[in-house]
Amino acid sequence: MTARRPAQVAITTGLIAAMIGIALALGLSGCGKKGAPSPPGPADEIHYPRIYPAQ
């Protein structure tokens, strides 16, 4: 087994940390709903003409 130089260890550690950060960012970017919330169902069957509740 060959000994690694400190610079190689630092570069490898930095690359691994960057890959983990990118993977987490991409995973979180897919979460959540896009657009404003709206009541389910067709618009002509909505019986409550009030604002969709935020709670």
* pTM, entire model: 0.48
State yes or no: pLDDT of 48 exceeds 70: no
Confidence of residue 50 (pLDDT cuts 50, 70, 90): low
The C-alpha atoms of residue 23 and residue 18 are separated, in whole angstroms, by: 9
Reading the block at residue 34, the tokens are: 């896009």
Q: Which of 40, 37, 33, 32 is nearest to 53 (CA)?
A: 37
Question: How high does pLDDT run on average in the chain?
Answer: 79
State yes or no: pLDDT of 21 exceeds 70: yes
Angle at 26 between CA 21 and CA 29, to 5 degrees: 125
State yes or no: pLDDT of 1 exceeds 70: no
